[in-house]
């Protein structure tokens, strides 16, 4: 299987993994989101149901109490003697029927006369009640469809006051054996209903788990505290008796509960969002890392190929001229000298290359150690240039060194001599390598050429008149293993580590390196080194 296939498989695997992670994260997010809201709904439902149960129970209690009182009164009358009910009820003195204020018996004929009128506490107000019953309440009763002996209720406001009456039809057996129809009306006193019944179902607000009140059909509170609109409120009508009113129940702290739920939901949603962000960030980081890894692997492979190639060429030359000399057939002394000098210089190149690779390896392992000492920078540069001279001459290129002795220039700086020399050699060799066919490479040493320079730095400029560097490449040529587009096109030998070494050396010195275009064409590399050495 080829390397291309393998990397394609690796890429497919990465993408499958990434897609799976993203899908899993999305599913997780959706499920969590939905569960949060479902839980919330279940919680709300539970509170609602409990409240409803409470309301049901209370409404039932009140309803039942009134109906029981009605039944008790109805039971007082012997069959067919309803007229006795009023009297007997009076005789009871209010026991069993605490809410009843009046029991009134009408002759249920066209005249509707009052046959009996009993009041719990007789008073002048009874006359008003009598009138109200005769004039307004009795006409409002729904008697046409009411079977004999069946109880019905009327609950209605008269002049703004709610009146609750129970009524039923009954037959009175007269002494002559005939019967007359009666209408029995039981009036439940509003205050007594409140006192005896509602007060029992509206709990003490300080200890209760729910607040309860009673409102009329227009929502006005008739009993109990007001309930705030924001609360969860369950309303329940009294089914048979006080049907114009509703009982309302709000769980205490329902707004607090809602607040808490809102806060919890917010927290859960934030955590969910955060996890999604982390997953996405993780996936992006993973993708970037694998892409970077792949790129580095490719570059490394190229590097090995390039270095082997660079080693092979000088070795081949050394071997060829060495063998020539060994045969002893080289005629002139001059030729012999020339061959020997080639051998020496090619070995020097080999040494330089190997040194470069070794230094690079040290840098890569983070083991590059620098030894800073005061040294004469123009002297170091001169020695570096000398090392390149033979190579330049064979290419027909002159190396021109110029020391700029302008006013605030100090020759001596705190540097690592060997490292700085290596950096300069790399720059000069590149200039020779990438600017073939030109006649001169200039190496300038001096103070930085920027206005306001304070003499704290020394600059080394390597100026060639070659083809220059593609603007796209300018950012990247200092990366390890990176080789410019033109280098590849024109088959210039190299390994892509030279400038990354330069960058490292400069960084270690606390300086910087930049490349710009030489006016009129070509590249100018500028090393800027602080005289005082690297910042501690
Ligand atoms: P190498 O020379 O082995 O390729 P370097 O790190 O020394 O590696 O250089 C990186 C790239 O920078 C080169 O491949 C080349 O494209 C470009 N480069 C460096 N110096 C010059 C120069 N003086 N002129 C043009 N291009 C250059």
Average pLDDT of the segment spanning 268-276:
89
**Cα 531 from chain centroid (whole Å):** 50
CA 487 to centroid of ligand 1, rounded, Å: 7
CB atoms within 10 A of CB 413: 23
Write the pLDDT tens digit of every residue in 162-185.
Answer: 999 999 999 888 889 898 999 999
CB atoms within 10 A of CB 517: 13
Predicted pLDDT of residue 409: 67
Place of tokens 């240039």: 385
Q: Residue 256 above 80 pLDDT?
A: no
Q: Residue 253 above 80 pLDDT?
A: no
Write the pLDDT tens digit of every residue in 432-486.
Answer: 999 888 999 999 998 887 766 777 889 999 999 999 998 888 889 998 888 887 7
Average pLDDT of the segment spanning 404-426:
83
Rounded-to-integer distance, Cα 197 and Cα 238, Å? 13
Does 172 contact ligand 1 (Cβ within 6 A)?
no
Residue 491, token pair as written in the block: 């088959």
Place of tokens 């930085």: 448
Write the pLDDT tens digit of every residue in 281-337.
Answer: 988 998 899 888 888 888 788 778 878 887 888 899 899 999 999 998 888 999 999
Grouping H, G, I as helix, E, B as strand and the rest as coil, residue 492 is: coil
Q: How confident is the model at residue 208 (pLDDT cuts 50, 70, 90)?
A: low
Q: Residue 41 above 70 pLDDT?
A: yes
Q: Residue 408 above 60 pLDDT?
A: no
Q: Which helix (H) or strand (E) holds 505?
A: helix 498-508
Work out the angle between the directed axes of helices 333-364 and 377-395 (0-180°, nearest 10): 130
CB 445, CB 381: distance < 8 Å: yes
Nearest residue to 186 (alpha-carbon basis) of 66, 61, 70, 65: 70
Predicted pLDDT of residue 196: 80
Specify the residue with its C-alpha closest to ligand 1, atom 8: 496
Backbone angles phi, psi at 228, to 5 degrees: -75, 150
The DSSP call for residue 197 is: I
Angle at 255 between CA 252 and CA 260, to 5 degrees: 110
Q: Which helix (H) or strand (E) holds 445?
A: strand 440-446
CB atoms within 10 A of CB 372: 15
Cα-Cα-Cα-Cα dihedral sign, residues 507, 473, 432, 492: positive
Specify the residue with its C-alpha closest to ligand 1, atom 19: 430
Who wins on pLDDT, 207 or 150?
A: 150
Average pLDDT of the segment spanning 102-124:
89
Does 430 contact ligand 1 (Cβ within 6 A)?
yes
Burial of 405 (0-12, 13-18, 19+ CB in 10 A): exposed
CB 104, CB 118: distance < 8 Å: yes
Does 310 contact ligand 1 (Cβ within 6 A)?
no
CA 514 to centroid of ligand 1, rounded, Å: 13
Q: Please report how many Cα atoms fall inside a 13 Å half-sphere around the Cα of residue 263, on the Cβ side.
A: 6
Predicted pLDDT of residue 268: 87
Rounded-to-integer distance, Cα 135 and Cα 150, Å? 23
CA 512 to centroid of ligand 1, rounded, Å: 17
Percentage above 90 pLDDT, the chain: 33
Write the pLDDT tens digit of every residue in 369-382.
Answer: 788 999 999 999 99
Predicted pLDDT of residue 1: 44
CA 434 to centroid of ligand 1, rounded, Å: 7
Average pLDDT of the segment spanning 336-352:
86
């Amino acid at each position: 299987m080829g390397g291309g296939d393998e990397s394609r498989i690796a890429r497919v695997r990465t993408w499958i993994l990434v897609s799976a992670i993203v899908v899993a994260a999305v599913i997780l997010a959706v499920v969590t989101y939905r569960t949060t809201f479902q839980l919330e709904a279940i919680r709300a439902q539970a509170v609602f149901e409990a409240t409803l149960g409470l309301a049901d129970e209370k409404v039932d209690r009140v309803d039942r109490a009134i109906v029981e009182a009605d039944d008790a009164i109805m039971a007082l009358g012997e069959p067919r003697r309803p007229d006795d009910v009023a009297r007997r009820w009076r005789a009871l003195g209010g026991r069993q029927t605490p809410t009843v204020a009046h029991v009134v018996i009408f002759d249920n004929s066209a005249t509707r006369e009052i046959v009996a009128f009993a009041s719990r506490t007789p008073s002048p107000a009874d006359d008003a009640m009598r009138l109200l019953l005769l004039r307004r309440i009795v006409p409002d009763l729904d008697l046409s469809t009411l079977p004999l002996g069946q109880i019905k209720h009327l609950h209605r406001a008269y002049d703004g006051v709610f009146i609750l009456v129970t009524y039923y039809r009954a037959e009175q057996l007269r002494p002559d054996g005939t019967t007359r129809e009666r209408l029995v009306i039981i009036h439940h006193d509003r205050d007594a209903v409140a006192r005896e019944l509602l007060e029992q179902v509206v709990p003490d607000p300080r200890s209760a788990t729910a607040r309860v009140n009673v409102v009329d059909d227009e929502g006005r509170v008739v009993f109990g505290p007001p309930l705030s609109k924001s609360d969860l409120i369950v309303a329940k009508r009294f089914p048979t008796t006080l049907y114009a009113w509703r009982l309302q129940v709000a769980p205490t702290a329902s707004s607090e509960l809602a607040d808490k739920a809102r806060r919890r939901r917010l927290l859960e949603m934030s955590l969910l969002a955060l996890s999604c962000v982390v997953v996405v960030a993780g996936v992006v980081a993973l993708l970037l890392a694998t892409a970077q890894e792949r790129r580095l692997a490719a570059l490394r492979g190229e590097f090995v190929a390039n270095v082997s190639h660079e080693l092979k060429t000088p070795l081949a030359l050394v071997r060829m001229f060495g063998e020539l000399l060994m045969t002893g057939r080289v005629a002139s002394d001059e030729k012999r000298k020339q061959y020997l000098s080639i051998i020496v210089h090619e070995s020097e190149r080999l040494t330089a290359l190997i040194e470069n690779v070794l230094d690079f390896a040290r840098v890569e392992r983070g083991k590059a150690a620098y030894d800073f000492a005061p040294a004469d920078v123009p002297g170091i540069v001169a020695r570096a240039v000398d090392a390149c001279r033979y190579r330049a001459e064979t290419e027909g290129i002159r190396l021109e060194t110029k020391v700029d002795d302008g006013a605030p220039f100090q020759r001596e700086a705190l540097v690592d001599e060997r490292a700085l020399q290596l950096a300069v050699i790399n720059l000069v060799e590149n200039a020779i390598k990438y600017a073939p066919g030109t006649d001169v490479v200039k190496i300038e040493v001096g103070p930085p050429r920027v206005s306001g320079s304070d003499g704290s730095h020394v600059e080394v400029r390597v100026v060639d008149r070659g083809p220059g560097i593609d603007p796209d490449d300018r950012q990247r040529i200092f990366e390890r293993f990176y080789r410019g587009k033109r280098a590849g096109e024109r088959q210039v030998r190299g390994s892509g580590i030279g400038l990354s070494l330069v960058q490292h050396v400069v960084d270690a010195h606390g300086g910087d390196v930049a490349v710009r275009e030489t006016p009129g064409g070509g590249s100018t590399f500028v090393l800027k080194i602080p005289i005082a050495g690297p910042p501690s």
